Amino acid sequence: MRKIGRMGRSVGLGFVVWCLNVVAAHAAAPCKEAPEGMVCIVGGSFTRGHDSEQNAKPAAQVTVETFYLDKHEVTNEAYDRCVKAGGCFRPFGIPISPSFLQKKNPVTHVTWYDAVRYCRFVGKRLATEAEWERAARGPNGTDYPWGKEAPTCRRAHTSRCGPRHPVGTKGREAQGFGVFHLSGNVAEWVQDWYTPCYGACEGACGEACQGNDPKGPCGGRDDCSTSSQKILRGGSFLRGPNELAAYTRKAADPNLPSMMAGIRCASSTPTLAQTAGTYLHLKPRPAISTPATPLSEQHNKLFWKSPEDVLANKKLCPRAGRSGSDCRDPNHYVTSNESHPYLWHPYIQNLGGGYVGIGADQNYNFIAWARSEYVWLMDYDAVIPWVHKVHRAFLLKAETGQEFVKYYDPKRAKTSQALLEETYKEDPDRKMILRAYGRYRGKFFRYFSEKFAKAKTFANKEHWLITPRHYEHIRKLHLLGRFRAMPGDLLKESSLRGVAKAAKEMGIVVRMAYFSNAEEYWPYSPHYRESFEIMPMDNLSLIIRTVSHPRWGSKSKSYFHYNIQHGLAYKRLLAEKAKDGYKGFRHRNIRQFMERYRVGTSHLNLTLIQLPRE
């Protein structure tokens, strides 16, 4: 048998690798006609990475399936169509030079979450890091999309080229697979989470970045507990030619709307994804009857005897209209100041189950619309539970909404006060309940009378006080002992957690939680997260909230922006850990939920977070 020398073995090994690449390329699905504005990137094996750069080590063979990639970076014109449709958002409070906003130039100042939102809006996705590099190396696997030659201003727009902003593709030639600006111009977000190398270093990606269609840490999911940075590829107009190679990768904060970051989308198939069905919560649900029986003795004890927070020690904030973890707003919001709650109506009808909320009578609308069967209302302002007790006394007596309003008529003050004294003669809060009535009866009379005066307006047509079936539902819950108003600070450990435990022990699914705009004023505390870990929810459960900061919507339409979040998603996001996150958690507050996950609707001031579709 002949011996094979060192050169022979080297040539033989190279031939084998070449053959394997050919087989892999032939095994990949053939290209089909690409969607408009996209090109087909034929699948196969290629050398990903480079041993000359620490975070690109080691160079190794990986395989990707055939996929489709945008020819061009997403332009301002295309992105603004998404903004106009409510699917995308421009950054708030960041001045952008007009030269960056020219309609044919690539969009910039977008976060990774913005990029994901846009690509999903148009039925696409972000490319994986391996897919992006496959496209950037071109058909011949070179270091640049155009080949082996060094970068020039004709080939790529870098910091050495004018102008000092991203440019369109006019006068440029397609490169490699027929793609424009893969190197230079704007850096492009990819799907993967960042690691300091592919292999053989501390914190390496390892197996997740190897083999067939690698997707990086956590399988490329939108959230990952082991990494907090995403990846920008391709260099930019702010970077030099030394950062344009196909293997160059940069770690980036996914929340940062960088002036050099842009978007290019991909698709696994030539048929773009369609919106995945109607939102589950917009599908008609069977009508739910108002409960007819009081609670059992065991349930009654669990419902009414859960612990309550002590509110006396919380000081007043120095400025009205603001709240915090260590102080409360000096104003007493005894009536609702939210003008567009009807935006939630189509989503929350006939949810049934348990209801947890804060604030005043706006809750009664949501409870009536949802046909909630068990209600816990709480507030960190002790005046609000006293006001609910005033309402309760009149609800127990008044069979209609009109009769209820008459109890606040100043002409009937003596009769109403006598009723309150009799109803709460043994209540330890009796004096404060009477004081709340005396202070606010005129306000309530005007407020509730106005609802009837404007009964035909769109905002009031389903109001709990005006619509007989809604009023009867609220009244019946009080009569049956299924409606509890209590002191409760969402950041303390007793009330909210006590309600969560009670609901769990009673076998009640909490279908709706409403917290007004309270979440804007504090980071999520350990007690709050633990309460929702306990809180029983299911696929129909919702969190409804308002947010008042102008970054979320148009103040010309409404002072408040309205948001709906899937309850199970809320629980999951609150619990998600991150090694370098806020106190070990990935999400600090509501702002991060809104920035990362909200999607628009046909109404400018209503957004949704991770609602399931059918």
pLDDT at 38 > cutoff 90: yes
pLDDT at 5 > cutoff 60: no
Please check whether residue 282 lies inside any domain of the structure. Answer: no
Give 603-612 pLDDT, tens digit per residue.
Answer: 889 999 999 9
Residues 18, 37, single domain; the answer is no
CA distance 375 to 298: 17
pLDDT at 17 > cutoff 90: no
* DSSP helix/strand/coil, 295: coil
Q: Is 515:358 a contact under the CB 8 Å cutoff?
A: yes
| Number of domains observed in the structure of the chain | 3
pLDDT at 553 > cutoff 80: no
Residues 13, 41, single domain; the answer is no
Average pLDDT score over residue span 573-580: 89
pLDDT at 12 > cutoff 80: no
pLDDT value for 420: 98
**Strand order across the beta sheet in which 230-233 lies:** 249-252, 230-233, 187-193, 261-262
Residue 515 pLDDT class (50, 70, 90 cuts): very high
Average pLDDT score over residue span 115-137: 96
Average pLDDT score over residue span 238-255: 94
Residue 155 pLDDT class (50, 70, 90 cuts): very high
pLDDT value for 13: 42
Residues 235, 99, single domain; the answer is yes
What Å distances lie between residue 27 and 31, 62, 215, CA to CA?
A: 12, 14, 20
Average pLDDT score over residue span 142-167: 92
- HSE-up of residue 535 (Cα within 13 Å, Cβ side): 32
Please check whether residue 589 lies inside any domain of the structure. Answer: yes
Q: Is 455:466 a contact under the CB 8 Å cutoff?
A: yes
Please check whether residue 283 lies inside any domain of the structure. Answer: no
Strands 561-566 and 542-547: antiparallel
pLDDT value for 555: 67
pLDDT at 441 > cutoff 60: yes
Residues 158, 179, single domain; the answer is yes
pLDDT value for 46: 97
Q: ∠ CA 89-218-183 to the nearest 5 degrees?
A: 60
Residue 11 pLDDT class (50, 70, 90 cuts): very low
pLDDT value for 1: 39
pLDDT value for 554: 66
Mean pLDDT, the chain, as a whole number? 92
Residue 392 pLDDT class (50, 70, 90 cuts): very high
Residue where a domain stops, chosen among 212, 236, 267: 267
Give 348-372 pLDDT, tens digit per residue.
Answer: 999 999 999 999 999 999 999 999 9
Average pLDDT score over residue span 310-328: 82
Please name the residue that has the structure tokens 């909320």: 357
Please check whether residue 594 lies inside any domain of the structure. Answer: yes
pLDDT value for 328: 85
CA distance 360 to 348: 18
- pLDDT > 70 fraction of the chain, expressed in percent and rounded: 94
Axis crossing angle, helix 526-534 with helix 567-575, rounded to the nearest 10: 130
Q: Which residue has the higher pLDDT, 305 or 459?
A: 305
Residue 275 pLDDT class (50, 70, 90 cuts): low
Q: Is 350:374 a contact under the CB 8 Å cutoff?
A: no
CA dihedral 299, 304, 307, 310 (to 10 degrees): 170
Tokens of 394: 């009149």
Residues 202, 322, single domain; the answer is no
Q: Which residue has the higher pLDDT, 236 or 24?
A: 236
Average pLDDT score over residue span 539-563: 88
Please check whether residue 274 lies inside any domain of the structure. Answer: no
Give 408-421 pLDDT, tens digit per residue.
Answer: 999 999 999 999 99
Please check whether residue 614 lies inside any domain of the structure. Answer: no
Average pLDDT score over residue span 34-56: 97
Give the burial class of 437: count Cβ atoms within 10 A of its Cβ; 0-12 exposed, 13-18 middle, 19 or more buried.
buried
* DSSP bridge partners of 561: 547
CA distance 477 to 61: 66
Residue 578 pLDDT class (50, 70, 90 cuts): confident
pLDDT at 313 > cutoff 80: no
Average pLDDT score over residue span 180-203: 96
* DSSP helix/strand/coil, 335: coil
Residues 239, 363, single domain; the answer is no
pLDDT value for 556: 65
* DSSP helix/strand/coil, 195: coil
Residue 173 pLDDT class (50, 70, 90 cuts): confident
Please check whether residue 517 lies inside any domain of the structure. Answer: yes
What Å distances lie between residue 547 and 348, 562, 607, CA to CA?
A: 19, 7, 11
Q: Is 181:72 a contact under the CB 8 Å cutoff?
A: yes
pLDDT at 26 > cutoff 60: no
Residues 263, 406, single domain; the answer is no
* DSSP helix/strand/coil, 47: strand
pLDDT at 202 > cutoff 50: yes
pLDDT value for 277: 67
What's the DSSP call for residue 583?
A: T
For the chain, how many residues are written? 614
Domain with residue 230: its CATH number is 3.90.1580.10
CB atoms within 10 A of CB 232: 25
Residues 17, 74, single domain; the answer is no
Kindly give, in sequence order, each residue whose CB lies less than 8 Å from that of residue 135, ignoring residues fewer than 6 positions away: 41, 69, 127, 145, 176, 177, 179, 182
- pLDDT > 90 fraction of the chain, expressed in percent and rounded: 80
Residues 414, 403, single domain; the answer is yes
Residue 89 pLDDT class (50, 70, 90 cuts): very high
Tokens of 448: 């509730």
Q: Which residue has the higher pLDDT, 532 or 613?
A: 532
Give 470-486 pLDDT, tens digit per residue.
Answer: 999 999 999 999 999 99
Model-level pTM?
0.88
Residues 24, 35, single domain; the answer is no
CA 363 to mean position of chain CA atoms: 23
Provide the residue range defining the domain that includes 417: 290-609
Please check whether residue 276 lies inside any domain of the structure. Answer: no
Residue 132 pLDDT class (50, 70, 90 cuts): very high
Choose the weakest-confidence range: 213-217, 282-286, 309-313, 493-497. 309-313
Residues 58, 145, single domain; the answer is yes
Q: Is 589:602 a contact under the CB 8 Å cutoff?
A: no
Average pLDDT score over residue span 82-100: 92
Average pLDDT score over residue span 235-250: 94
Residues 118, 253, single domain; the answer is yes
